[in-house]
Structure 1
Amino acid sequence: MQKNRSEDHRASGASEGFSLSHKEQGEVEQKRPPRVAVLHETIRLEGEEELERGIAALGWSALAAGLSMGFSMLARGLLHRYLGGAPTGFGFLIESLGYPFGFLVVILARQQLFTENTMTAVLPLMTHPSLHTLVSLLRLWSVVFAGNLIGTGLFAYGILHMRLFDQATQAALLGIGTEMMGNSPLQMFTKGIVAGWLIATMVWLLPAAEHAKITVIVLTTYLIALGGFTHIIVGSVEVLYLVFAHGLSLGAFAWHFALPTLAGNIVGGSCIFALISHAQVRSDEAEER
């Protein structure tokens, strides 16, 4: 049905506009953006593959991602330190450019990041709901989140205790965590919704981005930094650094930051963006029948 519609559309387009050869018509089709259903299916199949991966493979990949995400905090902290501290205006815009670094490493290296899985791994469950898929999703989330969290903790602890940086840089890193904890638990949750939504948007855009993937990653995550939105993995590095420096209790990390932010990221990534995107594809299919 859809194929016939496309052929009819090409035929009508050729009669109403310029006369195109068969080869030129093929070039037009290649330059058109992919249909929403194509993006949905691409991400769903990727999610299916992730759900089938073994625990060991998931765990090591998630650990690597947690360690890599630490570079978002480190890059931002170093920029903050060498911009003279507490930058405002243009200085803040430059400092925030450090935030996308960890995401670039994780996504281009295809490491397992929990907030990506709130999109990719949920689509198989929405497409074919079953107890088996739900259990597989919960297994994936548990392993990846635990691996990410361990990786962030190791990075924060190592950066603090290896004495790699001077006092000014350490103060800048502490300041990032202190600024994060200035949010109330409700703000952690609501800002986490926006961050989860943006990460899901990024995941949705990447299959169509082709050679612009780096641009999509940088722009999306840069907006998270500019808005001060809360991301459970990057934020864990920032706040755990504060915990290991004895500036915050582990309980405050869990109850004030981690749980509200985790819930917000899941709501934004799965309950809003993934659900709406899936509903859009379902509606298109219903119209084609």
Structure 2
Amino acid sequence: MNQKNDPFSQQRENEENKLDDDIELNEEDLPSQAMATHEHIRQEGEKELERDIWALLWSAIAAGLSMSASLLAKGIFHAELGHFSGSMLIESIGYTFGFIIVIMAHQQLFTENTITPVLSVMQKPTANNILLLLRLWAVVLLGNLIGTAIAAWAFGYMPVFDPSIQHAFHEIGMKVMENTPTQMFAKAVVSGWIVATMVWMLPSAGNAKILVILFMTWLIAVADTTHIVVGTIEVLYLVFTGALPWQSFVWPFAIPTLLGNICGGTFIFALLSHAQIRMDMQKDHTGSVEHQSHEP
């Protein structure tokens, strides 16, 4: 049938044209792009704050297991490539695999939650919202650690990987532990900032979401920063295989890295992002009041 003579096609085309006209007419009334991104992330954060605690926990455990793909891929690249000039740039691509799985599967990752629900709390800093945020952080962090611990134990004891790959896991973990507590914290601030930046970019990324995740998390690896979830897999592998005592996981790794990720994602990126939006909102409100005052 000729599409021009198809009444259904004609009706659909008319509806699409009307929708386009409505969008064009409303463009001037839309907030700035930054405000639109802020509102999108804030609404997502509200949904996360209200989720059932068991749903959050299971999603966080799944995320911890999925993040093991970062160590798996990076370890395989490390073992196969060996050491040559520039090998780290290729090896670091493996680091991105876990993030791609977790984010595209909408699983709960702690470092994502250092910005998404925080914007909602900053918008309405009530005691109840703060308690909901702390509950969310505690449940997601616990779930991530459970998932990563299971993965680290499996990597160390299940007869899956040959000795060269297991040796690569060992070297990757020991490289993390070369950092002092101060370096753990400072590098975690950088990775927290990068993850928060990535979360801010995703709503406007469209079909390029995977590329945004790939490049931003590759940057975390290339910069040799520390990350509480990926690093937990790397360090717990050493603990479970007897290369490190449990105390070394808690300090110098976990506590400084956790605080650094929170600082980079929440106290720096989220605060600055929210501050610019508050200024835009105040300016918009002032402009509206001035406009109303000049009306006859």
Answer yes or no: same fold by TM over 0.5.
yes
Aligned 1:151-162 pairs, distance under 5 A: 151-162=147-158
Q: Which residue of 2 aligns with 1:8?
A: none
Aligned 1:184-263 pairs, distance under 5 A: 184-263=180-259
Q: Which residue of 2 aligns with 1:122?
A: 118
**Size of the alignment, in residue pairs?**
265
2:161 matches 1:165: yes
2:66 to 65, 68, 72: 68
2:86 to 90, 98, 106: 90
Q: Distance in 2 between matches of 1:112 and 1:161?
A: 26
Change in CA separation of 1:33 and 1:101 when aligned onto 2, cut-off 3 Å: farther
Q: Distance in 1 between matches of 2:51 and 2:161?
A: 38
Q: Distance in 2 between matches of 1:177 and 1:263?
A: 20
Deviations 1:28-58 (A, max 9, x none): x69x996111100000000000000011100
Q: Which residue of 2 aligns with 1:4?
A: none
Deviations 1:74-97 (A, max 9, x none): 10000011113xx24321111110
Question: Could you tell me how far 1:287 is from its partner in structure 2?
Answer: 1.4
Deviations 1:238-289 (A, max 9, x none): 0000110101111111011000000000000000000000000000111122
**SS of match in other structure, 1:121:** helix
Q: Distance in 2 between matches of 1:88 and 1:234?
A: 24
Q: Which residue of 1 aligns with 2:24?
A: 26
Deviations 1:177-214 (A, max 9, x none): 00000000000000000000000000000001011100
Question: Runs (4+) of structure 1 moved beyond 3 Å?
Answer: none
Amino acid at match of 1:172: A
Deviations 1:216-249 (A, max 9, x none): 1001000000001000000000000011010111
Change in CA separation of 1:183 and 1:88 when aligned onto 2, cut-off 3 Å: farther
CA contact (8 A) 1:33 1:208 kept: no
Amino acid at match of 2:204: A
Q: 246-255 or 268-277, which moves further after superposition? A: 246-255
2:54 matches 1:59: no
**SS of match in other structure, 2:236:** helix
Q: Distance in 2 between matches of 1:267 and 1:160?
A: 32
RMSD value, Cα: 2.0
Change in CA separation of 1:217 and 1:102 when aligned onto 2, cut-off 3 Å: same
Q: TM-score, normalised by structure 1?
A: 0.88
Q: Which residue of 1 aligns with 2:9?
A: none
CA contact (8 A) 1:73 1:98 kept: yes
Amino acid at match of 1:156: A
Q: Which residue of 2 aligns with 1:80?
A: 78
Q: 235-244 or 158-167, which moves further after superposition? A: 158-167
Consecutive unaligned residues of structure 1, counting only runs of 5 or more, are: 1-21
Q: Distance in 2 between matches of 1:265 and 1:230?
A: 8
1:112 to 99, 108, 113: 108
Q: Distance in 1 between matches of 2:84 and 2:72?
A: 19
Q: Which residue of 2 aligns with 1:46?
A: 44
Aligned 1:268-279 pairs, distance under 5 A: 268-279=264-275
CA contact (8 A) 1:230 1:261 kept: yes
Q: TM-score, normalised by structure 2?
A: 0.86
Amino acid at match of 1:176: I
Consecutive unaligned residues of structure 2, counting only runs of 5 or more, are: 1-19, 287-296
Deviations 1:12-42 (A, max 9, x none): xxxxxxxxxx96x939x69x99611110000
Q: Which has the larger radius of gyration?
A: 2
1:282 to 278, 283, 286: 278
Deviations 1:85-132 (A, max 9, x none): xx2432111111000000000000000000000000101110011100
Aligned 1:122-161 pairs, distance under 5 A: 122-161=118-157
Question: Could you tell me how far 1:163 is from its partner in structure 2?
Answer: 1.6
Q: Distance in 1 between matches of 2:163 and 2:34?
A: 50
Question: Could you tell me how far 1:159 is from its partner in structure 2?
Answer: 1.2
Q: Distance in 2 between matches of 1:120 and 1:75?
A: 28
**SS of match in other structure, 1:99:** helix
Q: Distance in 2 between matches of 1:101 and 1:89?
A: 23
CA contact (8 A) 1:34 1:208 kept: no
